[in-house]
Amino acid sequence: MSTIAQANTKHEAKRKNSAFSKLGYGVLYAILGLIAVLQIYPLIWLFFFSLKDNQEVFNESPFSLPTDPKWENYTRVWTDGNIGLYFFNSIWITVTAVVMTVLLASFVTFAITRMKWKLSKPVLGLFMVGLMIPVHSTLIPLFDFFLKLNLIDHPLSVVLTYTAFNLPLTIMILLGFYYTLPKEVEEAAIMDGCSIHRLFFQVTLPMTLPVVSTTAIINMIYNWNEFVFINTFISSDQYKTLTVGIQNFIGQYMTEWGAIGATLMISIIPILIAFLFLSNRIVEGIAAGSVKG
């Protein structure tokens, strides 16, 4: 009888633990669902906002649906508001800065982790100091510097600035991954007569593609959404990006809020799509470079 009682007691304990486990998972999923709704709702609200005119924006509740959706807001901002040009500028400036940042950061990380030279640690420390420099404190010195080089109102000033400010973080992420790479593969390539340039481009760089993808996505999000530098260094419409193109719909006497909402939606969509399809890359790359050995 005692054996049967013990078995019943263990079964009852397992049943209670299972019930508590299901309850815990239920609470966890409910909290995560609430967080997801709070994160997604602003995007939905912005989409409905972009389909309104000024009368609906000011005379109706901000949470109301558009009574007569103004789809022409998107057509008007793309054509009359030069958003098509700003969209193209955002793409090529972002891509150029990301490629330069990732390539230069890979060069630096390879030199620090794979080559023996006396100044490797001071150079690494110098790059890490860049993480502590406030971005806005550099606006005036950079403006004066680019003014002397005749680069004000030139996209090269923005590309160089993005590259310089993203290098420290990119190098820091790459470092953790480079330390985990097996040096035996590179040593075998050198024994086969591989030069240092071929070693980097044909052996090391392909092995770092997961973390390179991570840094590329992080840089892309920062460059795409950046406002301060592009607004300071660029004044002509020819080189403006989406983040500053919104100002075209803010007038002295009237602001077209629906057009601003449409512009914001257009600027969000590329980053949203990239993040939805590549978010796993960010987690995998950071996790791969976070463990040494």
Tens digit of each residue's pLDDT (9 = 90 or more) over 178-220: 888 888 888 888 888 888 888 888 888 888 888 888 899 889 9
Degrees, nearest 5: CA angle 222-223-226: 80
Rg (alpha carbons) of the chain, rounded to whole number? 26
Contact partners, residue 152, CB within 8 Å, separation at least 6: 143, 146, 233, 235
Average pLDDT over residues 48-76: 84
Whether the CB-CB separation of 122 and 183 falls below 8 Å is answered with: no
Whether the CB-CB separation of 45 and 61 falls below 8 Å is answered with: no
Average pLDDT over residues 107-124: 88
CATH top-level class for 81-290?
mainly alpha
Tens digit of each residue's pLDDT (9 = 90 or more) over 230-287: 999 998 888 989 888 777 776 645 677 888 888 888 888 888 887 777 766 666 655 5
Q: State if pTM tops 0.75.
A: yes
| Per-residue model confidence (pLDDT) at position 8 | 53
| Per-residue model confidence (pLDDT) at position 142 | 93
Return the domain boundaries, the chain: 2-49, 81-290
| Per-residue model confidence (pLDDT) at position 293 | 44
| Residues paired with residue 250 on neighbouring β-strands, in sequence order | 255
Degrees, nearest 5: CA angle 251-252-258: 30
**Euclidean distance between CA atoms 288 and 293, whole angstroms:** 11
Tens digit of each residue's pLDDT (9 = 90 or more) over 131-154: 888 888 899 999 999 999 999 999
Measured on CA atoms in the order 166, 167, 172, 174, is the torsion positive or negative? positive
CA 121 → CA 109, 118, 127, 128, distances in Å? 11, 8, 10, 10
Q: Which of 211, 238, 212, 244 is nearest to 225 (CA)?
A: 244
